[in-house]
Chain A
Amino acid sequence: MIRPGSEAELAEALRDATGPLSVRGGGTRGPLPDGTPLSTSALSGITLHDPAALTLVAQAGTPVEEIDAALAKANQRLAFEPMDHRALLGTTGTPTIGGVVAANVSGPRRMQVGAARDHLLGLRFVDGEGTVVKNGGRVMKNVTGYDLARLVAGSRGALGVITEVALKVLPGTETAASLVIRGLDDATAVRAMSEALGTPFEVSGAAHDPQAQGGARTVLRIEGFAPSVEYRCRALAERLASHGAWEVETDREAVRADWRGIRDVAPFHGTAGDVWRVSVRPSQAAELVARAGAKQAFYDWGGGLIWLRCAEGDDLRARLGRYDGHAKLHTLQPEPLAVQALTRGLRETFDPRGILAA
């Protein structure tokens, strides 16, 4: 295992590499590519937290929990609430902020506040030739030059190894509540979630579990200052009354635990099989799930994200047919040829020797 202690050492390791490297943060997101393991875990630590500027800068190997703890002290948070993959994928290790950015890991609040990459203000990375590149900065608005930071976010290490990230952080909320309804079929649930997200009540989570204990469960989250949360819960339940009576859960700890479970796809924990993640246009979600014929399904992002559990080795993509989006297990859905050409071109440009296995 190569474990560079500084950006310079990492650059040297990449320059010296003769074969593929298998780059990892905490290694919590399932199978890693073949190659000599290279870990960023020794590049660790928060280098700047400026609460009044809503900014945090940290080295790539910094554990997410260390960042969460530091932010909580200032009543702030990573608003995109990155999921923890460990229980879902049966992995161990410690999720790192570099891994979160490299895979653009975003939780239930993604549809309201954006993905991990929407909170990325800048980064430093080392490309496949060992060149250190800086992009973006640490300020909230920045259009100086190309946004390589966004390109590298979600590239899973294919264009370079991230060494430092600057993130926009947001205030934590005073309280949160959930609206819950039972027994909606998938299509109705997605419609109800879309209706909720089309109101001005700032719904910050919308999930549906068709096989929940006690019957299908649709849940909406409202966050903010206490009087505002109370008002919006009431107004939203009225607006969605045609679907039935919505129960309001106001116990702060219960609400938090529920959404942590949704974030980490808790309904699938401890089950067997392959997990597929499908990004889809919400209005096509229910039909897609019906076609998929999976053992279990779970909807997040108001239907924009579907988790599917199938028998091991069962490739469901052929059954999904045509839709606006893409599905992912270990391999990617083939992209249109012109997009493939651009992707290949970029990978060859930043990693001409093919050192970065991703």
Chain B
Amino acid sequence: MQMPSPDARIMARKAQVVQRLTEALGERGVIHDPSETRAYECDALTAYRCPPLCVVLPSTTEEVSAALRICHEENVPVVPRGSGTSLAGGALPTADSVILGVSRMNRVLETDTADRIIRVQTGRTNLSVTGAVEELGFFYAPDPSSQLACAIAGNIAMNSGGAHCLKYGVTTNNLLGVTMVQMDGTVVEIGGAHMDAGGLDLLGVICGSEGQLGVVTEATLRILPKPEGALPVLMGYDSAEAAGACVADIIKAGVLPVAIEYMDRPCIRACEAFAKAGYPDCEALLIVEVEGSADEINHQLETILKIARDHDPVEIRAAQDADEAARIWLGRKSAFGAMGQINDYMCLDGTIPVSALPEVLKRIGELSDQYGLGVANVFHAGDGNMHPLILFDANKEGDLEKCEEMGADILRLCVEVGGCLTGEHGVGVEKRDLMTVQFEPQDLEAQMKVKDVFDPKWLLNPAKVFPLAASEGRRA
């Protein structure tokens, strides 16, 4: 992965840029000492690092606007940052860029359970949005696994999902309005507490634009009443085909679980060793969760268990209470941590049509043999969003490169069977150079034309999403 070489003219003007930003935001709002900017050199994609020119931490929309206006005048690229939990390098800086972090803007501005909305500053963490409405009996639905740390700003930029989107949708389905600052400092209000856009749905294209169209400082989010209860059931199968057919039959039967999670044998074993959740040692494990009152849960589970039994399970275990439910989830929720204990790994995020599941798993197995790297599969089976974890040794010469190549092959496979490169992590720098696998030049051109309108100078997060060769003529 290459990043554009930093502009020496900007680097030479660092003092001037820092001085202007400090005048606007105060000493407290600007970090420019190299020993401190290092903390912002990467996000959760730690393979790539580069300290920025400086960092600004505004406290208000007005300060965001002032900082962007200055950078716009000075022709300095800006990389917006929420909490820095991106797995795709969405917040990776270049040496000539200013990191604009929204972490100080974390207040709840309004809560209204009658209209079922909450308005927050976007530095607020995902989980603390739910925290703000939980006592009122409500929750915010998108639940990426980083939800304890990740910011709403990043969720909007990447259109984040989570384990429960089969029923509740992803960020874009739960976002009603934003206050956004454009690169030239213009503040726009789009949408609000009402449900439909009057003209073009600008909100729809802003969400998921990876911080390339503007910096979202406030958001109106849809909140939902908490379900009466939820219980998971665990099922073990001796083949991927059987597990895949079980998922298909559950969906065809008209039951819509809130989550259907899938783990394969390498992942089950690692989780079991790590968390001791009592998982059976089998080829494929499904965790299916349903919601409702006790009777409703039982009724849905009856249907699901009947289908599950038709596919020759090696084990079925329905949780009877909250403790057993927690035990069933324990292994799954610690999957990434468990894999991290035994190996370095790279986490992929492609999506495939659910019906292609057995075929794709078989071919991932073949790629694993071909490259000589292990793979553990864990994914959201209901919506086809896969997270294959490729295991490698970071200390072994050439292993990372081999792993990246294999990852690219898996993502090409996802596209080949009718899927896509990324289901919820975003393109960032990680999948940037694979975009031509999924899109024709004119498809990418249409997307870049949208950025031309919002950010004509291409200063906002410019080296992301689009292959550098495709965006070259546009970037400064």
Contacts and interface: CB of A to CB of B under 8 A. Distances in A.
Q: Which of A54, A135, A142 has the most CB of B within 10 A?
A: A142
A110 interface: yes
Interface in B226-280: 226-228, 247-249, 251-256
A324 B453 contact: no
Contact of B351 (A75, A142, A171, A281): A142
Interface string B420-432: 1111111100010
Contact of A155 (B200, B255, B355, B446): B200
A139 B352 contact: yes
B205 interface: yes
B202 A151 contact: yes
Given A139-B384, A333-B198, A227 B115 contact: no
B353 A338 contact: no
A314 B446 CA distance: 40
Given A144-B435, A282-B114, A345-B453, A227 B299 contact: yes
B296 A142 contact: no
B83 interface: no
A200 B225 contact: yes
B292 interface: yes
Contact of B115 (A54, A134, A283): A283
A304 interface: yes
B135 to A, nearest CB: 14
A147 interface: yes
Given A114-B173, A172-B254, A145 B116 contact: no
B287 interface: no
B447 A231 contact: no
A350 B200 contact: no
Contacts of A335: 198-199
A339 B190 contact: yes
Contact of B200 (A154, A172, A301, A304): A154
Interface string B425-447: 11100010001001110111111
B209 interface: yes
Interface in A146-182: 146-148, 150-151, 153-155, 158-159, 170-174
A308 to B, nearest CB: 15
B275 to A, nearest CB: 26
A173 B195 contact: no
A332 interface: yes
Contact of B199 (A195, A197, A227, A343): A343
B424 A325 contact: no
A140 B385 contact: yes
B419 A197 contact: no
Chain A interface, DSSP helix/strand/loop, else mixed:
mixed
A128 B201 CA distance: 19
A144 B427 contact: yes
Contact of A54 (B116, B227, B251, B351): B251
Interface in B430-468: 431, 435, 438-440, 442-447, 449-454, 465
A343 B200 contact: yes
B172 interface: yes
Interface stretch (B11-19, B181-189, B307-315, B397-405): B181-189
Q: Which of B115, B170, B385 has the most CB of A within 10 A?
A: B115
Given A153-B201, A324-B192, A141 B446 contact: no
A54 B251 CA distance: 8
A143 B159 contact: yes
Interface string B352-392: 11110000000000000000000000001011110000000
A150 B198 CA distance: 14
A281 B172 contact: no
Contacts of B169: 114, 118
Interface residues of B, number: 95
Contact of B158 (A131, A143, A155): A143
Given A140-B385, A200-B226, A225-B299, A158 B200 contact: yes
A279 B227 CA distance: 27
Contact of A171 (B114, B138, B251, B293): B251
A194 B292 contact: no
A118 B165 CA distance: 12
A258 B143 CA distance: 36
A146 B205 CA distance: 6
Contact of B443 (A54, A111, A135): A135
Contacts of A280: 194
Interface string B130-147: 000000011000000000
A233 B193 CA distance: 28
B199 A332 contact: yes
A139 B440 contact: no
B154 interface: no
B39 interface: no
B419 to A, nearest CB: 5
Contact of A111 (B187, B195, B256, B351): B195
Contacts of B300: 225
Nearest to B203: A150
Interface string A322-333: 001110100011
Given A118-B173, A142-B423, A281 B200 contact: no
A24 interface: no
A115 B173 CA distance: 9
A342 B454 contact: yes
Interface string B120-162: 0000000000000000011000000000000000000011010
Closest 5 CB pairs of A and B: A150-B204, A326-B198, A52-B248, A171-B254, A141-B423
20 contacts: A50-B354, A51-B251, A52-B249, A104-B196, A138-B353, A138-B418, A139-B418, A139-B423, A140-B385, A141-B351, A143-B423, A144-B431, A145-B439, A198-B113, A198-B225, A225-B299, A227-B296, A228-B292, A279-B194, A349-B453
Given A135-B443, A139-B351, A195-B114, 4 more contacts: A135-B446, A138-B418, A154-B196, A279-B194
